[in-house]
Amino acid sequence: MEKGVVPPGAVELPQPAQSPRRPFSRLAPLRWILTLVFISVVCYSVQPVLDSFHGFWDGHEVEATSLCPQASALSPEKNARLYKALAEAYKTDGFLLRAVDLLGGAVRIPTESYDDLGPIGEDPRWEPFGPFHDYLLKVYPQIHATLKLTKVNTYGLVYLWKGSDDTLKPLLLTAHQDVVPVNPDTYDSWTHPPFSGYFDGKYVWGRGSRDDKSGLIGIMTAVELLLERGFQPTRSIVLAFGFDEEVSGRRGASALGEYLLSTYGENAFAMLVDEGGSISEQYGGTFALPSIAEKGYIDVRVALAGPGGHSSVPPVHTTIGMLAELLVHYENSPIEAKLSRGTPTYWHAECLAAHAPELPSSLRSSIKKAGSSDKALRAAQNELFKDHAFKALVGTTQAIDIIGGGVKSNALPENAMAIINHRIATDSSVGAVQKHGIAAFRDLAARFNLSFTAFGSSITGDAPAYGSLTLSDAWGMALEPAPVTPTDADAAPFQLLSGTIKSTFNAHRELAEDSIAVVPSLVSGNTDTRYYWKLTSHIFRYTHYNAGSGSGLNGVHTVNEACDAQNFVEMIRFFTTLILNADESTAL
């Protein structure tokens, strides 16, 4: 049909009128200029509003001081004269020599504990604990004349220093007598022999000088000094020393925990201080790091079984080959570490933002916003996780530590096994690790045609299979993450501990003002406190040892373990101050 022709019966619509073209106005440029000025004024006016919305979505930046409030230094008042007299004694060379002599003597008794120790009374490797008890009896006469001593399961020690007021909850101080064995092949690598207790003018050398005879001798020396000065406590003090902490405390702290629970009851103690975090320097700041929780623990045993036979006619994969692929896959599929609000490591990060002067400004800003912004939390996490040790504290770790299989080079291995050690994040659980293991191995078990049983439950059913894959708790000692100790402003034990740390640190250096921040934290391992959870909700794992910018380990569990003598004197000062402060407290 031709354009413009109207078909029969159609209605012709009216066409819109054409606007006449207006001539160019000389005022047009002025209108454009005025329009641009108007837009600029409007944008300038609403920018603060836009910025406030941007801040809302990106997280509000919290004042640094409110992230990690600090207690004031706390020194004894009722017993101020005694406190000052002891402080003067701690400065002398005579006391330093006495302290290192006490520690060196303890180190010279090799109270090693082994994974395969037999029953007490049958395995002769328990015998050194007897001479160690004799040593304590000899060098601490006031303690053994005044305190009530109870021996638990032969070598566990419980000392009661009874106070005058039975209505006050006692203070519980703990440590362990045993040490990690020294590999005889490493003796020649030690600067000084591992059980010499040698003092070179700066360090006391030997196994246990740091872990944990310095803690035990530090506590005992503080109590002995107070007794020598005639101090009589108002609040009872209990000392409990296990003897197999290095092999999970199954005979020592386990029995001690049962004894203390049956004797005193649940939640009977005001607070508990055991070995743990130390003093360190980070990002230009000095921090005391009491551990307020512990990660959980499980060793997962991975066991494969399959047909044997002569190695001249091998299958595509032997049990060892299958195990190798399973383990590589597991290592490549770790549980993702995430920094979560409300955890000890998150609070640790907040304290760095508040008190570490050399923390990168971008990281400080991210941490200050992390409370209200997931984006800022992830940014802080990404930066903090560049420190491998911090990332390991945050997440659930896994380490393949034991592997075995096969009996002969020309025989197909019928069995192969591995043990994977896990340290479970404080916001996770044993069940989460087990679930992760099942998910990680399920597909490979199917590919290799293996029946799959995990933690007592059949995953694949009873269908015929080439072999079997079994996951289990290797030692039957899986441990959930510990309860988290309160650290808020109303938590009197944490406030008292913090004040004690500060006053000890300041007094030892004769500082007029605080120069240390107390930061809730974690230690990487587990302690005897796993058996003491019911005794108090205020458990602190803290060793007042000044590690400076180092790790603070000083050869712990390896060659050349040594304890700085001045640091050891400061530890004794810390326990003295803690006992006196706790005795005067009306808030515990």
Q: Quick one: which of 262, 269, 158, 237 has its CA closest to 536?
A: 269
Contact between 545 and 210 under an 8 Å Cβ cutoff? The reply is yes
The answer to whether residue 56 is domain-embedded is: no
Both structure tokens of 43: 């944008």
- pLDDT for 463: 82
Domain presence at residue 24: no
Q: Which tokens in the block code for residue 319?
A: 């049990």
Residue 61 has pLDDT above 90, yes or no: no
Question: Sign of dihedral through CA atoms 569, 156, 136, 109?
Answer: negative
Which residues make Cβ contacts (< 8 Å) with residue 239, sequence separation at least 6? 147, 157, 158, 159, 161, 173, 174, 219, 220, 223
* CB-facing half-sphere around the CA of 474: CA atoms within 13 A: 17
**Cβ neighbours, 10 Å, residue 502:** 24
Instruction: Specify the pLDDT at position 48.
Output: 45
Q: Report how far residue 216's alpha carbon sits from residue 275's, in angstroms, rounded to the nearest whole number.
A: 9
Question: Does 186 fall in a domain?
Answer: yes
286: three-class secondary structure by DSSP:
strand
Our count of domains for the chain comes to 2
Q: Let me know if residue 305 belongs to a domain.
A: yes
Q: Is residue 75 in some structural domain?
A: no
- Split at pLDDT 50, 70, 90, the class of 13 is very low
pLDDT in tens, 95-135: 999 999 999 999 999 999 999 999 999 999 999 999 999 99
For residue 411, give the amino acid letter: A
Q: Are residues 562 and 456 in the same domain?
A: no
Predicted pLDDT at 17: 45
Query: What pLDDT is recorded for position 59?
Result: 67
Domain that holds residue 286: 80-294+483-584
User: What are 200-259's pLDDT values in tens digits?
Assistant: 999 999 999 999 999 999 999 999 999 999 999 999 999 999 999 999 999 999 999 999
Mean per-residue pLDDT for 446-460? 96
Q: What's the CA gap between 366 and 381, in Å, rounded?
A: 9
Q: Which DSSP symbol is given to 479?
A: B
Say whether 246 counts as a known binding-site residue.
yes
Last residue of a domain, one of 418, 438, 473: 473
Backbone conformation region of residue 256, classed left if phi is above 0, alpha if psi is from -120 to 50, else beta: alpha
Please count the CA atoms within 13 angstroms of the CA of 14 that sit on its side-chain side: 3
Any known ligand binding at 192? Answer: no
Pair 121, 262 in one domain: yes
Domain holding 507: CATH number?
3.40.630.10
Choose the final residue of a domain: 473, 499, 518.
473
1: exposed, middle or buried (Cβ count in 10 Å: 0-12, 13-18, 19+) = exposed
Q: 312 and 265 in one domain?
A: no
Is residue 496 domain-shared with residue 465, that is, in the same domain?
A: no
Residue 14 lies in a domain: no
Evaluate whether residue 169 is within a structural domain.
yes
| Residue 127 marked ligand-binding | no
Residue 77 above 80 pLDDT? yes
Please give the model's pTM, rounded to 2 decimal places: 0.88
422 is in an annotated binding site: no
483/346 Cα distance (integer angstroms): 16
Q: Which residues are catalytic?
A: 178, 245
- Tell me: do 121 and 247 sit in the same domain: yes
Residues 421 and 381 in one domain: yes
* pLDDT above 80: residue 153: yes
- 256-274 in b/e form (b: 16+ CB < 10 A) is bbebbbeebeeebbbbbbb
The b/e string for 149-174 (b: 16+ C-beta within 10 A; e otherwise) is: eeebbebbbbbbbebeeeebbbbbbb
Cα–Cα distance for residue pair 401/271, rounded to 1 Å: 35
When pLDDT is averaged across residues 287-303 and rounded to a whole number, the result is 97
Element at 142 (helix H, strand E): helix 141-146
Same domain, 193 and 307: no
Question: Is residue 109 in some structural domain?
Answer: yes
Paired strand residues for 452: 469
Quick one: pLDDT band at residue 176, thresholds 50, 70, 90?
very high
Are residues 178 and 245 in contact, defined by beta-carbon separation less than 8 angstroms? yes
Alpha carbon 160 to chain centroid, angstroms: 29
CB of 147 within 8 A of CB of 136? no
**Per-residue pLDDT, 32:** 54
Residue 208 shares a structural domain with residue 323: no
Ramachandran angles phi, psi of 429, nearest 5°: -160, 165
Q: What is the 3-state secondary structure (H, E, C) of 145-191?
A: HHCEEEEECCCEEEEEECCCCCCCCCEEEEEECCECCCCHHHHHHCC
Is 557 flagged in the annotation as binding? yes
Which of 451, 473, 495 finishes a domain? Answer: 473
**Predicted local distance difference test score (pLDDT) of residue 577:** 98
Is residue 360 domain-shared with residue 489, that is, in the same domain? Answer: no
CATH of the domain at 446: 3.30.70.360
SS3 (DSSP) at 395: coil
> Same structural domain for residues 235 and 178?
yes
Q: Both 247 and 348 in a single domain?
A: no
**Are residues 422 and 308 part of one domain?**
yes
